Amino acid sequence: MKTLRAMLVAGCLLAFSPLALAETVNLTNSAEGASKEAGVAAVKQKLQAACTERKGTPDAASFEIVFEKTSANPDVPKPYYVDGKMKCTLPG
């Protein structure tokens, strides 16, 4: 019986913890560009647009490149592929 009560109390504490009520989400997206800088700028722009579409506030300082790849084919118009992620604070 004590174990059941302890589990219920722990469950209630977890339910009301700040992590359970957090309004910050991580958004991910990808983009291509003619140069590395253009690819990074494009993915940042996509992430910020996705956040503002959800009526959130993007955290530009949290932007992080997750993956990047350069195409070896010289005929590709946008040879730089970039995956990125950014935190977005959504309204409560």
pLDDT tens digits, 33-44: 999 999 999 999
The residue among 10 and 51 whose pLDDT is bigger is 51
**Domain 23-89, CATH 3.40.50 — does that match?**
no
- 2-22: average pLDDT: 59
Interatomic CA distance for residues 86 and 90, integer angstroms = 13
Maximum C-alpha span of the chain: 70
Predicted model pTM: 0.72
Mean pLDDT over each residue of the chain, to the nearest integer: 85
The contacts of residue 48 (CB under 8 Å, 6+ apart) are: 58, 60, 86
Closest CA to 49 of 72, 68, 31: 31
pLDDT tens digits, 48-72: 999 999 989 999 999 999 999 999 9
Q: Hey, where are the domains in the chain?
A: 23-89
